[in-house]
Structure 1
Amino acid sequence: MTTKAAKTASKRPFDIVVYGATGFTGKLTAEYLVRSQGANPLKLAIAGRNRGKVEACQQDLLSINSQAHIETLHADSDDYTSLVNMAAQAKVVITTVGPYLKYGEPLVRACVEAGTHYVDLTGEPEFVEGLQHELHDQAVEKKIKIINSCGFDSIPHDLGALYTVHQLNTLLGEDKAGKCPVKVEGFIEAKGTFSGGTWHSAITQFSRLRAYHNKRKEWHKTRKTKPTDRRRTRVMQPKVFWVNAHKAWACPFPSIDPQVVKRTAAERKEFGPDFIYGHYILVKKLPKLIGGVVGAGGLIALSQFKYTRNKLLEVKDPGQGPSEAMRNKSWFKVHFVGEADGLHVWTEVAGGDPGYGETAKMLAESALCLAQDKDLPANYGVTTPGAGMGVALIERLNAAGITFRTI
């Protein structure tokens, strides 16, 4: 923040507001914030449209930490004034209210109006690109950060690629660091499940693939910002191949993660003059790989029709999630291979339950980073975890048990 903006933010009653705290992931995020309070108590508020549910959530949180500073606010995605009032009281707003294509844009606009940092969990490319097109310049002018995809989509991949590039640059030495073409590939291994909110967001996204394609054409025609240097950032063409080191098939993983990594690379010069990224999920058995591809294709096809789309949405309720016992059995690892000037580095990002426990941790630590840390990268507007927080967030996550290491 600028000095003026920092002074304004310091006078606000809350460090962080969690909007959607009565939902499954929102409550986990609020619980993490309450449990992890250090010597300086966090000024926290939780918000939602149902006052009774928000107050009940407040009592649940106080039962975890009776000394915590937790207040309640009323806000509704259909009431823009309430969103502005909520945003104006905090340094950072966390939102877990999705699908973001349906509910997200008014809150981001309110945060820009109020001069408040914003973090979310979206994995919806159409939503993010719309924000870049509509609100980026205003957010830059306000010196605030709108940082999407602060959960498993896309922090392990985005910050893992950044960490890998830093290890490569250490090997390259000062004379070559940031001056050589760089190639990074990420390989996901995970065991876990997903929430009703994630399911609804995915079905919504699948149903809008054609509309999104048409929007991208229009956005490209009217894009205000153009590249200012000759650096290239690219995503590898999809391919399936055998990875002997992991005894598994690598399959392209259709997620927002490669776009996020690409955007971070475009903002940070340590990624070199020509950066390319490949993004895969590891599958041990070929029949499982084929089944996954066929299943994804079926979901995309069924999402195109209103009747079948509505039936798919009925499979999971938005606030629904797995038990604590199931979450405790879940885990993830993302393996990275980095290459530059003939040198190679192997790194890994690893943690527990990717869909919930660690996602709540990543989201909460992102908000804490924006609220408390100084000397963050001076990348404002609609940006990424790697561009907007970078090494500071890697250090926070390492301390919180999500490990970044060189193998």
Structure 2
Amino acid sequence: MESNGNKRYFDIVVYGATGFTGELVCEYLSKKEGVRLGLAGRNRDKLEKLKERLLSNKDQKKAKSIGIVLAKTNDLQSLKEMTAQTKVLCNCVGPYLSHGLNIIEACVSEGTHYTDLCGEVPWIRQAIQKYHEVAKEKKLKIVPSCGFDSIPSDLGVLLLQKESEKRGLKPFSDVILYVEKSKGTLSGGTAAAIIGNFDFSDEHKSLAKESFGPYALYPEGEAKGPPQSDLKTILYDKKRESWVGPFIMAGINTRVVRRTNALSNFYYGVDFKYQEVSVFSSKKKARKFLLFGGLFLLGVKFSLTRKLIHKAFLPKQGDGPSLEQRENGLFKLRIAPRDWSSDFYVTVEGFKDPGYGSTSIMIGEASLCLLKKPEETTETFGVVTPASGMGMTLIDQLNENQVHFKIEGQS
């Protein structure tokens, strides 16, 4: 049935429901009992077909729990009408820099919690500057970056620090994340986000330094922590006994983790440092990665070649892997104090393609988590992070749904 416009008719509305990732999120949420799900977008025919697919082999009771909402990104009134009907809005329409902040404007206006898959630091920074305080006053949770970037990083560091506290230790002041394994395809959304970040730098040169700095997502007016940067070369990590190099998602993940620390009254410490790296099985593979990565970065640095690379080599928005590819993907991360001074560390493991299969689970569970009362999650409101906004509760949910967070002893 189509939504009748009543207040909070839905528990969760997925905006961008007919996009590649949006459909996966809808498929995931449609299997959850007792959840009233809204499928939102601008094309009624596509939404009807999606609803029909989701309801195949389901009973009539389930049919009543899925509805359709029409809205357009450039039509603020339609967005307000959409967000007024749901408790949580899950935004799968990217790249986010291209679509502006209307969707968050609508959520804040109508008192609706929010999740998305944004990997664009400048966009999140703009959202913080414009909406954090008013969302905080309204006790709303606006939670960007609820996919592979940045839930595993953000919640993994939280779990490490909680375990340290549990053992009577101080929080670790210097933490590193190793990408041990990753099998999957670069998503069209991630590719668009990468290109969008470079476009933003070209168009807003005066804002680029602050928008991409290590503390870009820190609260306004908060004193910055110690100098730190993302790894830009390869090196031999003596503690890990392997070659490591840059991790493509570090630019967003590290900023989100640092914001979590600041929003959590500096639970990790005012001098907290954090870095993410990729692990390679040999120096040869590390060098090969650095060579091709360097050529890619050189190419996307300039507007003309950036457009050519995006068109010729990168996946397009809405493109994605087959079901078999999604099911055969995986990732495994290790999070530890940099000096390996403890006898434990955290692993985060997913058993589907990180950018699609696991991401649809993560944002689905994050959206479900926001349906809980604040006392069941955290009392932190505003433009928050997965860890500061949902905390250990989201870890528990994900552990039951194929994204596993574990405390392990050092081998």
TM-score band by shorter chain is 0.7 to 0.9
- Are 1:278 and 2:275 counterparts? yes
Alignment counterpart, residue 153 of structure 1, candidates 149, 152, 165: 149
**Matches of 1:237 and 1:351, distance apart in 2:** 24
Q: Counterpart of 1:185 in structure 2: which amino acid? A: I
**1:192 matched to 2:197:** no
Counterpart residue number, 2:198 = 206
**Number of residue pairs matched by the alignment:** 387
Post-superposition shift, 1:298?
Answer: 3.1
CA RMSD of aligned residues (A): 2.7
Aligned to 1:182: 173
**Structure 2 counterpart of 1:346:** 345
Residue 136 (1) aligns with residue 132 (2): yes
SS across alignment from 1:372 = coil
- Aligned equivalents of 1:341 and 1:299: distance in 2? 33
Indicate how the Cα distance of structure 1 residues 317 and 297 shifts in structure 2: closer, same or farther if over 3 A, else same. Answer: same
Q: Which ranges of structure 1 fall in alignment gaps of 5 or more residues?
A: 1-9
Distance 2:322 2:229 in 1: 37
Offset at 1:141?
1.9
Counterpart residue number, 2:291: 294
Q: Does the CA-based 8 Å contact 1:234-1:275 persist in structure 2?
A: no
Query: Which of 89, 93, 105 is matched with 2:89 structurally?
Result: 93
Return the alpha-carbon distance in structure 2 between the equivalents of residues 47 and 264 of structure 1: 30
- Secondary structure of 1:47's counterpart equals strand
Match of 1:335 in 2: 334
Task: Quote the Cα distance in structure 1 between the aligned partners of 2:82 and 2:129.
Answer: 24
Q: What is the CA distance between 1:267 and its match in structure 2? A: 1.9
1:43 aligns with 2:36: yes
* Distance in 2 of aligned mates of 1:299 and 1:64: 46
Contact 2:245 2:290 survives alignment (8 Å): no
Write the distance in 1 (CA, Å) between the matches of 2:319 and 2:383: 29
Code of the residue aligned with 1:24 in structure 2: it is F
d(CA) in 2 for partners of 1:185 and 1:317? 32
1:370 aligns with 2:393: no
Q: What is the CA distance between 1:224 and its match in structure 2?
A: 8.2
- Percent same amino acid among aligned pairs? 36
Deviation at 1:385, TM superposition (A): 0.4
Q: Which is worse superposed, 300-309 or 336-345?
A: 336-345
User: Partner letter of residue 393 of structure 1?
Assistant: L
Structure 1 residues 12 and 358, CA gap change in structure 2 (3 angstroms) = same
Alpha-carbon separation, structure 1, partners of 2:302 and 2:235: 33
TM-score (norm 2): 0.86
Cα pair 2:43 2:70 within 8 Å, conserved: yes
Q: CA deviation at 1:289?
A: 2.5
Partner of 1:400: 401
For residues 292 and 127 of structure 1, the distance between their equivalents in structure 2, rounded to whole angstroms, comes to: 28
Distance in 2 of aligned mates of 1:202 and 1:242: 27
Distance change (3 Å), C-alpha of 1:164 and 1:257? same
Q: 2:52 aligns with which of 52, 59, 64?
A: 59
Partner of 1:241: 235
Does the CA contact (< 8 Å) of 1:233 and 1:262 recur in 2? Answer: no
How far, CA to CA, are the matches of 1:329 and 1:218 in structure 2?
Answer: 39
Distance in structure 2 (CA, Å) of the matches to 1:367 and 1:125: 21
Amino acid across the alignment from 1:318: Q
Q: Distance in 2 between matches of 1:12 and 1:21?
A: 18
1:226 partner SS = coil
**1:336-358 deviation per Cα after TM superposition (whole angstroms, max 9, x unaligned):** 11379954531101012211111
What is the rounded CA distance, in whole Å, between the counterparts of 2:197 and 2:209 in structure 1?
Answer: 17
Aligned ranges for residues 64-75 of structure 1 at < 5 Å? 65-66=58-59, 67-68=61-62, 69-75=65-71
What is the Cα deviation at residue 248 of structure 1?
3.1
Post-superposition Cα deviations, 1:244-302, rounded to whole Å, max 9, x if no partner, equal 67553121324300001111111224323432112111122333323333333333333
Q: 1:109 aligns with which of 100, 105, 111?
A: 105
Q: Any idea what SS the aligned residue of 1:371 has?
A: coil
**AA of the residue aligned to 1:91:** K
| Structure 1 stretches of 4+ moved >6 Å | 218-221
Match status 1:77 vs 2:73: yes
Distance in 1 (alpha carbons) for counterparts of 2:219 and 2:361: 35
Select between 117-126 and 309-318 the one with higher mean Cα deviation: 309-318
CA–CA separation in structure 2 for the residues paired with 1:195 and 1:218? 27
TM value normalised by structure 1: 0.87
Q: Which amino acid aligns with 1:207?
A: D
Label 1:21 to 1:344 Cα distance change in 2 as closer, same or farther (>3 A): same
State which drifts further: 98-107 or 65-74: 65-74
Out of 24, 27, 43, the residue aligned to residue 23 of structure 2 is 27
User: Residue 3 of structure 2 corresponds to which residue in structure 1?
Assistant: none
8 A Cα contact 1:168 1:339, kept in partner: no
Once residues 211 and 64 of structure 1 are traced to their aligned partners in structure 2, the CA distance between those partners, rounded to angstroms, is 50
Shift of 1:195: 2.2
| Offset at residue 310 of structure 1 (A) | 3.1
